[in-house]
A and B are shown apart, each in its own frame.
Chain A
Amino acid sequence: MAQADASMDLDTGRETSLERMVTADGIPLKRSLKRAERRRKLFALGLVAPLLAFLLTVFIFPIGQMMWRSVDNPQIINTLPRTVEALEAWDPGADELPPEEVFAALQADFAADQELPRRQQGTGSLGVRLNYEVSGARSAVSRTARQVDGFAVPYKDEFLDAHRLWGQPEIWRVIKRESRPLTASYYVQALDREYAPDGSIQLRDEGQRTYISLFLRTFALSATILGLTFLLGFPISYYMSTLPMRQANLLMIFVLLPFWTSLLVRTSAWIVLLQQQGVINSTLVGLGIIGDDSRLSMVYNMTGTIVAMTHILLPFMVLPLYSVMRGIPPSYMRAAKGLGARPWTAFRRVYFPQTLPGIGAGGVLVFIISIGYYITPALVGGQSGRMISNEIARHMQSSLNWGLAAALGTLLLVSVMILYWVYNRLVGADSLKLG
């Protein structure tokens, strides 16, 4: 900092006099300074470059790709260029089928596609894409595309014979609407909205809204887990910070144990512990606290997710808290008491505020990690313990709607960034202390 100030001073204030100053071998001082600076910058760049390249390839590039996928929409325009053009004159608002030219164009598009080698044919992915919007579109496309060679004028009748869907204005509206290479439809769906027949966007029927409530649940669960890790982590961190190093390290091992246990071992341990025939329930029944027929459901539901994730994420809260607390000299508490504060006041006004950087760091870590967690909720969360990332994983792996998965992932990313921004405005990210 001081150095930067100094060089700024050199640049502005005394520029003219400096031009005349030269080093012993006659090179202007300023130029040789710049050369030295450049060498230093190159060296610094050399140190950072490998990590930068690594981040670019494994982090920034995939995220960019994900965001791209959430709007990428090539299927219709690539496979049905003639149809798209012919549909331009058609009014999607009117509740009637497009004219014969459009059917002729579709026939030509399908026929052209069938000519291509199999790998380059677009009807497969076209069917998948249209099926996201209209159920049945996939078999309509695949069945019709193979027959179009034999179609005769008027094509309209042939198409209506081939599949009932061609007789519904809805599919034509979708083709027209989604004919641009970029689409907002994945976001529309990810926000529990849908297109009305007139093209406006409206909220879905109550029974069909999924994602907003899932987002909210994810945030609520993460906040609960954050609260629990804080309640459990703060006292133990405080206690550890007052212990001699050796005992503190021993305790730390217990806190870190979940880190060192394989996921499967941990998961089976929770299940053994929490299930209806599990240790806790059997103990409670054995002690007569609950009846045999009213065993508690603690796993395969939200409780399971909360218990398991609190356990896993506790170290992320304890580590920064502990390291911040270790750095707070006991003299502050003494000073506060010496100045007349009761122990509780001294703790609240002097000790606690100084742990805020640790709480902030731990909180941000726990919250952001739990927002994106999906293995544990999938294993012990049942339905009520599912989080948005499980839904993203489902769309990645089983429903294979990668566009929707990408839109949900982007929304998740954006909401995390907004939260981080809010946190930064409220607390200041520079006060984070990770230890």
Chain B
Amino acid sequence: MSQRLLKVIGAGSAVSLLAMSAAQAQDISLTVVSWGGAYTESQVRAYHEPWMEMNPEWEIINDDGSANALAGLRSQSEAGSVTWDLVDMLPSDAQLACEEGIILPIDHDEMLADGEDGTPPSEDFLEGSLGECFIPQIIYSTVVTYNRDMFEEGNYPETIEDFFDTENFPGRRAIQNRPAVNMEWALYADGVDPEEIYDVLATPEGQERAFAKLDTIKDDLVFWEEGAQSPQLLADQEVSFATGYNGRIFEAAEVEGQPFEIIWDGQVVEFDGWVVPADGENVDEVMEYLYWATDTQRLADQASYISYGPARHSSQDLVGQHADLGIDMAEHMPTHPDNYFAPIELNNEFWTDWRDELAERFNNWMAQ
């Protein structure tokens, strides 16, 4: 209810902003939907602000609606009034939206800039990242993090197995309240090879096995819902471990100075990127903006504000230092060789097929 209200207010303020911008002879106003917090901040500083500086007649309005992006796209499309111009969302949701025809298909080579070295986009973007309607932006990972203060010096956890070892590493653990990532880790900790996790998980026995492994730590579990909750729970020492998005953890550890340590073992990596709602009012402008905002330099720039890896090969070498802290960002990227030693690549196709059933089961398991 309140969210709907917020949306109404948001729409209202968008309208009034529009009116204002008309008065100031600003012709173009885009509503960009993203995840909020440090992540939106990185987009504002890397993309939106420089663009608006170059093009004063443009105005970009932020909306923190990505957590429910698919629901929002559907209801806007059903209501026949699409107010979002550009939406940041996960590739699995993008695939769904794409099949429902509520976002635009993208011809990447046609619509996006070549890499700085002239490589066409279809080759420049990381393998497997492109979707029918999806323009990749970053590669991020979900990682297990612990609070150093909650453990004794010299006995710090290092692996996902340690995360499941409540005897040697006691304390509560916060995990997200959905099956994806958690079930992968359960199998990984139970000895399944990262490459085979999804094959095992597609069988009833594999699912049983994952739940059985999760059962071993269930008494110590706390569940979080929104990305901002997990660093908060860690900082409050409500939990010893928390799973979370590596960018948020970086923000808390490096910018706020929290004693957090990331376990890169078994990090679950996934892409995140842009989609363009069909029937938006400013589709041409959005495409013009996207051409610029997803080029090699821009993607590399975003990495100066948050520790998510750029989704283009050509951007990798351009990743520099954090804009405010001056520390080298490369080693904080999920894709850095030191961190990328045992990654699990999130299988979106698996989750689109199994999400309905496993989410139900996982929910049930949480409630029991």
Contacts and interface: CB of A to CB of B under 8 A. Distances in A.
A touching B, CB within 8 angstroms = yes
A401 B99 contact: no
Contact size range, A: 35 or more
A139 B101 contact: no
Contacts of B127: none
B364 to A, nearest CB: 5
Interface string B62-97: 000001101100100000000000000000000010
Contacts of A276: 237-238
Given A208-B360, A208-B361, A214 B99 contact: no
A136 interface: yes
A128 B178 CA distance: 19
A125 interface: yes
A8 B359 CA distance: 63
Contacts of A209: 364
B101 A118 contact: yes
Contacts of A131: 352-353, 356
Contacts of B71: 396-398, 400
Contacts of A127: 99
Interface in A358-401: 375, 378, 382-384, 386, 391, 394, 396-401
A161 to B, nearest CB: 18
Contact of A135 (B222, B349, B356): B356
A300 interface: yes
B222 A382 contact: yes
A383 B225 contact: no
B278 interface: yes
Interface string B148-179: 00000000000000000000000000000110
Nearest to A372: B1
B100 interface: yes
Nearest to A299: B238
Given A124-B99, A396-B71, A397-B71, A136 B225 contact: no
Interface string A116-150: 00111101110110011001111100100000000
B357 interface: yes
A213 interface: yes
Contacts of B367: 210, 213-214, 383-384, 386
A139 B349 contact: yes
Contacts of B355: 399
Contacts of B363: 210, 391, 394
B223 interface: yes
A209 B368 CA distance: 10
Contacts of A121: 99, 101
Interface in A385-423: 386, 391, 394, 396-401
B96 A128 contact: yes
A375 B360 CA distance: 21
Contact of A399 (B222, B225, B359, B361): B359
Contacts of A125: 100
B236 to A, nearest CB: 6
B105 interface: yes
B24 interface: no
Interface residues of B, number: 38
Interface in B212-257: 222-223, 225, 236-238
A121 B225 CA distance: 34
Given A124-B96, A124-B100, A399 B223 contact: no
B78 to A, nearest CB: 10
A401 B356 contact: yes
A275 interface: yes
Contact of B353 (A119, A136, A277, A383): A136
A209 B225 CA distance: 22
Contacts of A386: 367
B121 to A, nearest CB: 22
A124 B236 contact: no
Nearest to B70: A400
A164 to B, nearest CB: 10
Contacts of A136: 353-354
B356 A397 contact: no
Given A119-B278, A124-B101, A383 B223 contact: yes
A384 B359 CA distance: 17
Interface string A247-267: 000000000000000010000
A425 to B, nearest CB: 31
A207 interface: yes
Interface in B339-368: 349, 352-361, 363-368
Interface in B290-335: none
A210 B360 contact: yes
A125 to B, nearest CB: 6
Contact of A138 (B101, B223, B352): B352
A398 B68 CA distance: 6
Given A397-B68, A400-B70, A208 B356 contact: no
Contact of B364 (A128, A210, A375, A384): A210
A136 B354 CA distance: 6
B352 A383 contact: no
A277 B366 contact: no
A227 B272 CA distance: 47
A153 B278 CA distance: 37
Interface in A306-355: none
Nearest to B211: A207
Contact of A375 (B2, B99, B357, B366): B2
Nearest to A213: B367
A275 B236 contact: yes
Contact of B238 (A120, A275, A398, A400): A275
A181 to B, nearest CB: 18
A118 B353 contact: no
Interface in A291-309: 300
B99 A142 contact: yes
B357 A135 contact: yes
Nearest to B172: A276
A382 B364 contact: no
Given A119-B278, A214-B367, A277 B105 contact: no
Contact of A139 (B100, B105, B177, B353): B353
Nearest to A272: B236
Nearest to B93: A400
B361 A139 contact: no
A117 to B, nearest CB: 8
Interface string A264-297: 0000000000011100000000000000000000
14 contacts: A118-B105, A119-B278, A124-B99, A124-B101, A207-B368, A208-B364, A210-B367, A213-B367, A263-B2, A276-B238, A277-B238, A300-B238, A378-B225, A382-B223
Given A135-B354, A139-B353, 6 more contacts: A121-B101, A136-B354, A207-B365, A209-B364, A382-B222, A399-B359
Which 7 A-B pairs give the minimum distances between C-beta atoms? A124-B99, A124-B100, A119-B101, A136-B353, A135-B357, A397-B68, A118-B101
